[in-house]
Amino acid sequence: MKRTDSTQATATPTHVHLETFGCQMNEYDSELVRSLMKQDGFVFTDEQERADVILMNTCAIRENAHNKVYKHLSELKKIKRQRPLVVGVLGCMAQNLKEELTEIQPLIDVLAGPDSYRQLPMLIRNALLSQEEGLDQKGLAVDLSEYETYHDVVPDRHDGVNAWIAVMRGCDNFCSFCVVPYTRGRERSRDAEGIILEAHKIAEQGFKQITLLGQNVNSYRFGDWDFARLILAVADVPGIERVRFTSPHPKDFPMPLLEAVVSHPHICKQIHLPLQSGSDRILGLMNRAYTIREYRALVDRIQALRSDIVLSTDIICGFAGERDEDFDETYRLVEEMRFHSAFIFKYSERKNTIAARKFPDDVSEAVKTERVTRLFDLQRNISYGRNREYLKAVLPILVEGDAKRSAAQGMGKSDGNITVIWDKQIVPSQPGDLLSLAIYDASSTTLYAEPPPVS
Ligand code: 5AD
Ligand code: SF4
């Protein structure tokens, strides 16, 4: 087994392969991990076959995220039988399932939770050493911190157009279905000046968009700074064309933030506003701390200020105790709201959460599936209608690269974060370009664009 040691400049570097599962916060955390490990002399590879160390940055939010990780682990078991390999599990699953993972999965050498990445190079080096010596010592770092914000770690960013910045970590909301407060710990905000300085550096590196991340950005507080003040300062950074943020909580959406979105030309006219359920009874059980009336009033306020703001949401179907009439209320509210898009999930009971302790997961799998399918079909029609409203409009589009299906097509995003595709022979484009294109066709997920008519 090759070993990296910062004092041995000539040693063959240790190759690390890192796979990321789950949300944007995890993508961002993987950039932090790459940065911390590279500083320590580790080299990253996209090829699993070349790797001495395989790391998985995991997600625990729903059962299927878990299953993906377990499936991947069983594949690694085969590789580990054939050659020396250090396997590390990072992120939310490491945090939440520490007993289970170390017991059930003897193949795992290192477990590191979201607040322990500074220790990761040391843990990996120890695991490599222990393996060389024929020992089987596990490295475990899963303590949660009240302070860790990685403020001084410059993420190792891949994407050349969008850069993420986590402005806060953790969550104190304790929605009854959600595991995040347990896996990511208490809320803490990163210093505003550090964030703004980083935004300037990002702009100098040529990034055009910044997405500010937090489990509930409305809770951002650092001295005199709140989130509205912060996003305005980031949006003022020269060279940054677009600023997005995710996610705000509907219970405490601040007016100054709405005013910032409405008025600043570089803050995207797009808000992700997780609804979760259209039934007050279920919202109560979910501990969401708002009623449908309040949610509706917030959406009305947003739309009265600017009717072109693109709204998206998250909805859970089949939460514990959800009756047909609760689901009907959700269905009707989705019809009424006409969100541009929605992520629709089946409720997945998570160990240790309030719901898992208090409310039996009593909606059958078949009913959950039926409700998700019905809502999904409804939303697809709504998204289709919403996207057709853009026909003939000329929109500014930030180019991200090639379309997934064909390198002959370019792909970018509208200000409202809708995917746009065009023929590159007709519209040559480079990532980072800001184009002005006319929409000539639309599906429920995609807008199709061409050069605008010459007037
Ligand atoms: N089951 C299903 N969906 C969940 N979410 C969070 N926890 C669960 C769960 N236990 C969804 C919520 C949240 C999104 C990020 O994931 O809709 O807004
Ligand atoms: Fe989970 Fe609720 Fe916190 Fe979002 S606000 S991370 S859903 S507990």
DSSP type of residue 266: T
Hey, do 15-141 and 159-268 end up sharing a CATH topology, with the first three levels equal?
Answer: no
Centre of ligand 2 from the C-alpha of residue 176, in Å: 9
Closest atom of ligand 1 to CA, residue 355 = 10
- Is residue 311 a contact partner of residue 299, using CB atoms and an 8 Å limit? yes
Where b means 16+ CB within 10 Å and e means fewer, 64-74 reads: ebbebbeebbe
At residue 3, the pLDDT reads: 43
Average pLDDT of the chain is: 94
Strands 168-169 and 188-189: antiparallel
Top pLDDT among 3 and 281 is at: 281
Helix, strand or coil, per DSSP, at residue 99: helix
CA–CA gap between residue 420 and residue 128 (Å, rounded): 46
pLDDT digits (tens, 9 = 90+) for 93-112: 987 767 776 666 678 999 99
372 pLDDT higher than 80: yes
At residue 104, the pLDDT reads: 66
Range in 133-142, 205-214, 283-292 with the lowest mean pLDDT: 133-142
Q: Which CATH class is domain 15-141?
A: alpha beta
pLDDT digits (tens, 9 = 90+) for 195-249: 999 999 999 999 999 999 999 999 999 999 999 999 999 999 999 999 999 999 9
Instruction: Give whole-number Cα distances, 1 to 12, 44, 112, 119, 422, in Å.
Output: 10, 16, 22, 21, 48
At residue 65, the pLDDT reads: 86
Closest protein CA for atom 7 of ligand 1: 178
Range in 70-84, 109-123, 292-306 with the lowest mean pLDDT: 70-84
Minimum-distance ligand to the CA of 60? 1
216 lines ligand 2 (CB under 6 A): yes
At residue 12, the pLDDT reads: 80
The order of strands in the sheet holding 15-20 is 43-44, 15-20, 53-58, 86-91, 110-112, 139-141
Closest protein CA for atom 1 of ligand 2: 178
At residue 135, the pLDDT reads: 82
69 pLDDT higher than 70: yes
Per CATH, the number for 274-389 is 3.30.750.200
- Is residue 235 a contact partner of residue 384, using CB atoms and an 8 Å limit? no
- Give the mean model confidence (pLDDT) for residues 152-177: 95
Q: Is residue 4 very low, low, confident or very high in pLDDT (cuts 50, 70, 90)?
A: very low
* Ligand 1 binding pocket mutation candidate from 21, 171, 173, 177 (most atoms within 8 A of CB): 177
Centre of ligand 1 from the C-alpha of residue 337, in Å: 20
The fold for domain 394-450 equals OB fold (Dihydrolipoamide Acetyltransferase, E2P) (2.40.50)
310 lines ligand 2 (CB under 6 A): no
At residue 2, the pLDDT reads: 42
For the chain, the domains span 15-141, 159-268, 274-389, 394-450
Residue count of the chain: 455
At residue 415, the pLDDT reads: 98
276 lines ligand 1 (CB under 6 A): yes
Four-way CATH pick for 159-268: 3.30.750.210, 3.40.640.10, 3.40.50.261, 3.60.20.10: 3.30.750.210
1 pLDDT higher than 90: no
At residue 102, the pLDDT reads: 66
- Give the mean model confidence (pLDDT) for residues 13-41: 96
pLDDT digits (tens, 9 = 90+) for 375-391: 999 999 999 999 999 99
Range in 65-69, 212-216, 434-438 with the lowest mean pLDDT: 65-69
pTM: predicted TM-score of the whole model, two decimal places? 0.94
399-404: long-range contacts, CB 8 A cutoff, minimum separation 24? 399/161, 399/429, 399/430, 399/431, 399/432, 399/433, 399/434, 399/435, 400/161, 400/162, 400/431, 401/161, 401/431
Q: Is residue 406 very low, low, confident or very high in pLDDT (cuts 50, 70, 90)?
A: very high
Q: Which amino acid is located at 235 in the chain?
A: A
pLDDT digits (tens, 9 = 90+) for 392-404: 999 999 999 999 9
Centre of ligand 2 from the C-alpha of residue 150, in Å: 21
Task: Compute the CA torsion angle 367, 371, 374, 375 (nearest 10 deg).
Answer: -170
Where is 211: in which H helix or E strand? strand 209-213
